[in-house]
Amino acid sequence: MKALVLYGYGINCEHESKNAIEKSGGRADILHLNKVLDNPGLLEEYNMLFIPGGFSFGDDLGSGKVFANKMKFKLRDELEDFIKADKLVLGICNGFQVLVKMGLLPEPDFNQRVTLIGNDSGHYEDRWVVLKTNTKSPCVFSKGLEYLLAPVRHGEGKFIPNDDAVLEELKKNNQIVFQYTDKDGKLAGFPHNPNGSVLNIAGICDKTGRIFGMMPHPEAFNIIENCPYWIRGKVKEPMGLRIFKNAVEYLD
């Protein structure tokens, strides 16, 4: 893996993301969005594009919207070529918001079908959550995972589709990758579902499984001690790294 990790305009998880990739056996370069916009050919040097979390453009006009438009209207041709080349695209938190508003998820045709809006609680949520994995999903990043522990830290994480037809397609194609659950693996309301997402959706992929976005932060679970449950002896590994190890294995 050689990953391009974007930053700029309020993205603030780029170093944590690079660390997670490199601890998982990959390589990563951090580049400002403007550098890629000025030289789109840089994308050809990488086989994974990663848009990390943060608060790009202060979440003005809706979280991720401005960052998404910059990419959509200045990198569309290059992004289409990148996707056709069997490469990977990952967006976490603000990056997930960018992917859906750019129209790369759930279908990479640059038409927006879903969105992420303000949490039902009306405020920023910062807590650890339990995620149930859809083991039937084609998602490259979730292979071998039955569940995942990860923190959320967002103000606009409520996943909603444009209409029922979009939601049915997501279910039919197993594009719903992660759902928020309680400790017993059952779908539950707040605080287990920290934002009120429809069907407790925490992450989705495209039909190929190579484009993936999620609201929780697996890159933040890169050492056991990062998880508040480690002291109870229930955590045996930094589970967030599994997301990145799966990507590395896919690209080997």
How are beta strands 201-205 and 176-181 bridged, if at all? antiparallel
Q: Both tokens of residue 185? A: 């693996």
Say how far apart CA 54 and CA 8 lie, in whole Å.
9
Cα–Cα distance, 220 to 14 (Å, whole number): 11
Rg (CA), the chain: 17
CB-based contacts of 98: which residues, under 8 Å, 6+ apart? 51, 56, 64, 67, 68, 71, 91
Measured between alpha carbons, how far is 184 from 134 in angstroms, rounded to an integer? 15
Residue 227 DSSP symbol: S
Q: Which of 14, 107, 156, 219 is catalytic?
A: 219
Q: Which of 107, 125, 217, 227 is catalytic?
A: 217
CA 53 to chain centre: 8
Active-site pick, 93, 139, 205, 227: 93
The span from the CA of 199 to the CA of 204, in Å, is 12
Residue 205 is a catalytic residue: no
Q: Catalytic: 217?
A: yes
Does the annotation count 93 as an active-site position?
A: yes
The token duo for 53 is: 């979390």
The catalytic site residues sit at 93, 217, 219
